[in-house]
Structure 1
Amino acid sequence: MNPPRPAGRHGRNEEIRAALEAEIEAGVLCPGAPLDERELAQRFGVSRTPVREALQQLAAHGLVSIAPRQGAAVARLSVGKVRAMLEYVGELESLAARMAARRGDEALHAALDAGLALCRRVAATPGAVGYAAANAAFHEAIYQGCRNEILASHIRAARRCLQRYRMRDFATAQQVAKSLEDHLRIAAAIRAGDEQQAADAMAFHVPAGTTGFAEFLATVPTHFFDGGHAADS
């Protein structure tokens, strides 16, 4: 007869991991922020063991770094790695837009229209609060519309990893206006079934090119990067 599993500890471990992962991805815990086991144990009302296990799981997914005698901290990426990931996301999103244009149907066109309407509505409000969520909804319509779940899952995972570096993507009215203009161009190409134009419009939209990346880099605090802005640039 198998011994009973320590479901309670396992459950707390998962709860702590999920909570910290959500805070890292949302930018509540910024790159480089220390993660003290004792403080986290007090916060969650547990021993340090499930905290340590949760941190090790997050480290395995690249969200936390653990160094001997230094403890754990939210992982910081080099400038070069962030740029490489943005290029990767840009290529995948362009492919998704191309496939959505190829496979577009009434359901996709309706989802794009709904996403655009939400983006317009939020953009017109003071401060455009909530535009990041509207932006995500528009992109999700394309991921669904490309009808390739493997591609979509890779994009979602990469965007989650990058999210802590993109918290100021829509901090100004100019950024929001550019995003909305890009969305209109992307949606028009997909609706027209123009695969190349859809891919090109999406590539222009993601800040991976020289000018776009430089503008993106200016929005991210230097200490968020491993080695500072000069590293790997």
Structure 2
Amino acid sequence: MLSLRAVNQYYGDRHTLWNVDLDLPPGVCTGVVGLPGMGKTTLVNCIAGLLPIASGTMVWHDAGASPCEWLPGAEIGFVPQERRIFSQLTVEENLHIARMAKESVGGSVSSEIFEFFPELYPLRQQRASGLNDDQQYHLALANALVTRPRLLILDEPSRGASPLFSIRLAQLLLRFNRELGLTVLLAEQHLSLIRRVAERFCLLYRGRNVAQGRVSELDDPLIAHWMGPTAPVR
């Protein structure tokens, strides 16, 4: 669906991504793993169009069609770490704005969104500031889904979250794969969530993609080598 080849990125003079290659197959959840500061957020921000890349390519691949150039934000739903909901607007107003931002049209929000987030339906006239942390994250996720993106990107969704939230989020992501055929890119340092939902992984170490493959290959020796206290200095 989306292919990255030799992607490099800089913050000023600091080289943050080094020749990253990554393939996101359609309908598959891929986990970007690594310790804090290893480039996960930088990578997903580049894919979401929030950061420019210095070199390399990002290309969409459609079944039965020729590859086409990636466009920033095109058909992508993104939930960053800070969520970015409108706290003084209601749940329903948040969803309308999210839809209009992508489609430039009005109209009602599909009831299908509330089938995935039933706890938001009775709260749809409540301000987002009055929601608890889990409900606010679900609203941010609903905002990302309201225009039916082809690719959903989540940046550190379990950061500071309870184990119960992570379990419920895993169930939701599996439903998105199964019922919507959604491609998911999950940047996450907690391997328990990656192992629950992802089929493939990309392991970043100091901005380099040092390993990738099926999640079953993300074994203890690999994790200890790149994420343990004796990880190599490069």
The two structures share one fold, judged by TM-score above 0.5: no
Q: So what's the TM-score if we normalise by structure 1? A: 0.26
As a proportion of its length, which structure holds more strand? 2
The structure with more radius of gyration: 1
Q: So what's the TM-score if we normalise by structure 2? A: 0.26
As a proportion of its length, which structure holds more helix? 1
